[in-house]
Structure 1
Amino acid sequence: MSWPQRLSEQVVLLALSLLVGLLAGLSSAAFLLTLEWATATRLSHPALLFGLPVAGLAIGLVYHYGGGRAAEGNNLIIDEIHDPQAWVPRRMAPMIFVGTVMTQLFGGSAGREGAAIQMSGSLTDWASRTLRISPAHRRILLVAAISAGFGAVFGVPLAGAVFGLEVQRKTGKHLKAVVPCLVASVTGSVIVTWLGITHTLTPDLGHIELSFIVLLKVTIAAVAFGLIGTVFSVTVHLIKLIFARLLSWFPARPFFGGLVVIALSLLWHTRIYNGLSIGLIEQSLFGGPVPTWAFAAKLLLTAVTLGSGFVGGEVTPLFVMGATLGASLALLLHLPVPFLAALGFVAVFGGAANAPIACTIMGLELFGVGAAPYFLLACFVSFAWSSHRGLYSAGESSSRSLYLPWCVQVLRRQSAVANIP
């Protein structure tokens, strides 16, 4: 290929990357605004929680009878990057948008990145089909769509750019996607900010001196961060297995899952674990009072919500688990609560998603560069102690199956027998 042709190709790819960022930014902004409404409505009308089983039944019916391949979620987008089979369904975007908002409105515990990535991927593939993009460029744009959705919904453009490359686990095959990922992620994030959407407030940790004792304590905490990500993954798959064994008709699973969420909420006499639980993150990061076992309660409620068939993301709940676990460990390890909560915020997700580089960068974007060595250490130690299955199983490297804890391997075999995604 001559240099004029290469230049022309790069210009086209740059323009398409801007389009991907535009689609991700606009869809994420609309989604975040709707989530704000859903959260405010739920908090002002606590009785909405009792409608969660009906909402679950509705979500289950739509996904069971009309979802098709869209029910595969984020893994479908990653599969289409690795081994293209068919276009990402256009219905994926509205289904995940409405389904996630319903989950949040009625008190399910789930996140938002799943919706952002799926909307971005679905809209990007629709544009690729409409514009008759080549298969090679289509794959690059899908990687960029993951970056754009993540960067836009969390306001972390640099971490988003790396996340799209890192999470699909075959970065070496998509080096051409580096610039498109960066352009799309920055564009999406800028659009969300330009439209006046604000993200979770995070403190600047300032400069933190390197200390052997602190490094040792952070390493100990990071092991716990990695293990809690593994516990979350195992718990979600165990609950999926239990519901599949007990209820063969899929729409019934989120219905009864909603009943379990109601029961747990009433048993705990609090609603702080329902929805996104952003308040718990802010309390942890700014040194406010946080229940010692908040991370375990959030883990269980999220596992029941997602394991029973509700839709949404896992990332924000993992942020909550990490921040609250960090806050609890800070008291035991005699470290500043905001410092260890911030490390937990990114490290639990870094281990669970097998994306330590992106999460290290996220830590620097959100909390400043003064604690960079500690973010790097926490994210990679957490990654080393995680199950390596990852939130997005389609992106898992097959060679890493050798290192999966036996309990995860057993659950995966049982899930395959029961035909559970």
Structure 2
Amino acid sequence: MKGAARAQVLRHGVFAVAVGVVGAAASVVLCLVVGWAYDLVCAHGWLLYLLPIFAVASLLLYRALKLPLDTTTHTVINDICADRPISPALAPGILLGTALSILGGASVGKEAAALHMGASLGDLVARPLNLRPMTGVWKGESHADGAGGADGGDVAVGSAGASKGAAGGAGSGGGASGGVHAYAASCGMAACFAALFFAPLGSTAFVIELSRYDRSVWRHAPFMLLACFVAFGLASIIGIGDVIPKVPLPALSWPVVGQCVVIAVACALVGTVYIQIIDGAQRLTKRISQNYYLWAALGGVLMAVLVTLFDWRGFEGTGANLLSDALAGRAGGWTFAVKALLTIVCLGLWLRGGEIMPTFTVGALLGASCTVMTQGDPAFSAAVGLVAFFAAMSRCPVTAFLMGCEIFGWAGAPAFALAVAVSFSLGRDVGLYGRGATGILKRATSAARARLVVKKP
């Protein structure tokens, strides 16, 4: 490896460590701010009735920061895969916007905020380091002169030739800048998420699967892993994050296999409906009117009315309290439907906040409710439901499996693998973040067949 190549590897290593530190710090700040907001709404229930005002205020904040009002995790992922730079303003915007939603009792999570903040901060940290894609460096070549790499037109972050956004969505394979923006943003996302959930392996897999295996992302996986472990280590020392309770994990047996299959089928069916309603609501509202202030205010009003009419105070916020109850075997029945309904109202009508913790909660509550059919352990059923429902929602099966093992323990690997396989196979291959791996595999197979046909004499 030449001297210039070694220098570039060193720069990537420095970046990975730096973004791991920044990601851990961002996760801690996010947890403290959102925790403060949730404590306030629990102590002062009347804040629920200010949710419409908070929802509009969060959008006005986005407008002041010159951020698109329809920004979601899906749109951030599309920007990453098109290798567009991520605005530094996204970090404070999503942090304060999520806090305002939680302050009003909205049924949203903070995990999407971690992803958005990580993407914004990762791209920001990379700018002064003049990073270049590693494709040629691994072969002993140098990109120091700014020449194009294997993907063509590779340039450094912040250079005049950097792509401002090539057309294309997930799985596009990177934009004209060689994917350094995509890698930097993805590395930040992974680090912040790893610090939040104490799951470095699952977090690395998550951003790779979210990008639908974009080569500008996965070819830098070693550095992403380094960033995730740095963030994980710091977060573990500080002890602030989403600590999900452990559950007893039974040995694999035929009754356990049956429980996993029943829960996974339920998660695939309910998860598909859940995703389609949220996505359909967002599409319909955009088609009717792109006045997001109106829709956000309406979402706040509906949330306040439903909670007041049916006394659903316990369903406000991220759902961490409900998740703890489910994993302690104290939940079941139709509680999953209540949390799903309130989350659909908030996310479908453009309130700022995330979908992952509410999704974990809905899945765990659904898994616990399946004990009526399986007669299994409610706590273990909730854990299986969390993993299976997340696989159906995200269309990221490897992530769901790894996070299940890192959160609950590797002894549950066989059960989690079975649940993920069934849920992912039966669910619709378009999740909340776009098309999943099955669709990508089908397109790749079709393209390979087309090339073979062209080559035939």
Shorter-chain TM-score: what band? 0.7 to 0.9
Matched, 1:13 2:12: yes
**Matching residue of 2:43:** 44
Residue equivalent to 2:454: none
Q: 1:171 to 1:215 in 2, by over 3 A?
A: farther
Residue 254 of structure 1 aligns with which residue?
A: 296
Shift of residue 139 of structure 1?
A: 2.9
Q: 1:227 to 1:67 in 2, by over 3 A?
A: farther
Q: Of the candidates 280, 283, 289, which is equivalent to residue 238 of structure 1?
A: 280
| 1:64 to partner: Cα distance | 4.9
Name the CA distance, whole Å, in 1 between partners of 2:107 and 2:75. Answer: 23
CA deviations over 1:38-74 (Å, ceiling 9, x no partner): 1111111111000001111212333356543474333
Q: Kindly tell me: are residues 79 and 170 of structure 1, through their superposed partners in 2, closer, same or farther at Cα, counting changes over 3 Å?
A: same
Q: What TM-score do you get using the length of structure 2 for normalisation? A: 0.81
1:302-321 map, 5 Å: 302-321=343-362
Query: How does 1:263-342 map onto structure 2 within 5 Å?
Result: 263-288=305-330, 290-342=331-383
> How far does residue 171 in structure 1 lie from its aligned partner after superposition?
5.0
Q: Distance in 1 between matches of 2:43 and 2:188?
A: 35
Task: Report which stretch shifted further, 38-47 or 168-177.
Answer: 168-177
Structure 1: which amino acid aligns with 2:88? R
- Identity of paired residues, percent? 28
- Alignment correspondent of 2:102: 104
Bigger fraction of residues in helix: 1
Max Rg structure = 2
* Mean Cα deviation higher: 337-346 or 266-275: 266-275
Structure 1: tracts of 5 or more residues without a match: 403-421
**Aligned mates of 2:181, 2:290 — CA distance in 1:** 37
The residue number in structure 2 matching 1:68 is 67
Pair 1:396–1:80, CA change in 2 (3 A): farther
Aligned equivalents of 2:426 and 2:63: distance in 1? 35
How many angstroms apart in 2 are the aligned matches of 1:348 and 1:400? 22
Structure 2 matches for 1:200-215, cutoff 5 A?
A: 200-206=243-249, 208-215=250-257
Q: Is the 8 A contact 2:246 2:327 kept in 1?
A: yes
Deviation at 1:147, TM superposition (A): 1.3
Q: Deviations over 1:314-363 (max 9, x none)?
A: 10001000110011002321111111100111221122111111111111
Q: Please list the CA deviations of residues 163-192 of structure 1 after superposition, one character each: whole Å capped at 9, or x if unmatched.
A: 121221125554422111211111222222
Alpha-carbon distance, 1:275 to partner: 0.5
| Structure 1 CA distance for aligned equivalents of residues 213 and 105 of structure 2 | 36
Aligned pair 1:119/2:113, yes or no? no
- Distance in 2 (alpha carbons) for counterparts of 1:121 and 1:394: 21
**Corresponding letter in the other structure for 1:232:** Y
**SS of equivalent residue, structure 1 residue 37:** helix
Structure 1 residue 282 displacement after superposition = 0.8
User: In 2, are the aligned partners of 1:388 and 1:400 still within 8 Å (CA)?
Assistant: no
Question: 2:120 is matched by which residue type in structure 1?
Answer: S
**Which amino acid in 2 is paired with 1:116?**
A
Say which of 399, 421, 430 aligns to 1:380: 421
Q: Residues 38 and 169 from structure 1, CA distance in 2 versus in 1: closer, same or farther, beyond 3 angstroms?
A: same
Q: What is the CA–CA distance in structure 1 between the aligned matches of 2:379 and 2:258, rounded to whole Å? A: 18
**1:110 and 1:377 mapped to 2: Cα distance?**
29
Q: How many residues align?
A: 398
Match of 1:176 in 2: 219
Q: CA deviation at 1:7?
A: 3.4
The aligned counterpart of 2:387 is: 346
Q: Which runs of 5+ in 2 are unaligned?
A: 132-155, 157-176, 444-457
- In structure 2, C-alpha distance between the alignment counterparts of 1:335 and 1:106, rounded to whole Å: 37
- What residue number does 2:129 align with? 131
Please give the alpha-carbon distance, in whole angstroms, between the structure 2 residues aligned to 1:220 and 1:142. 38
Secondary structure in structure 2 of the residue aligned to 1:205: coil
Q: RMSD over aligned Cα, in angstroms? A: 2.3
Deviations 1:95-120, CA, capped at 9 Å, x for gaps = 10000000011110111111001111
Any residues of structure 2 matched to 1:136-175 within 5 Å, and which? 136=178, 137-170=180-213, 174-175=217-218
**Structure 1 residues 248 and 6, CA gap change in structure 2 (3 angstroms):** closer
- 1:181-232 per-residue CA deviation (whole Å, 9 max, x = no partner) reads 21111122222232331433412424x2222332133112101112222111
| SS of aligned partner of 1:197 | coil
Asked if structure 2 preserves the Cα contact closer than 8 Å seen for 1:69 and 1:89, the reply is: no
Deviates more, 1:243-252 or 1:351-360: 243-252
Further displaced range: 182-191 or 68-77: 68-77
Q: Which runs of 4+ in 1 moved over 6 A?
A: 394-397
Shift, 1:238, TM fit? 2.6
Is the CA contact 1:294–1:324 (under 8 Å) kept in the aligned structure 2? Answer: yes
2-structure distance, mates of 1:322, 1:264: 21
> 1:3 offset after TM fit, Å?
4.8
Question: How far is the alpha carbon of 1:398 from its aligned partner?
Answer: 5.6
2:262 is the alignment partner of 1:220 = yes
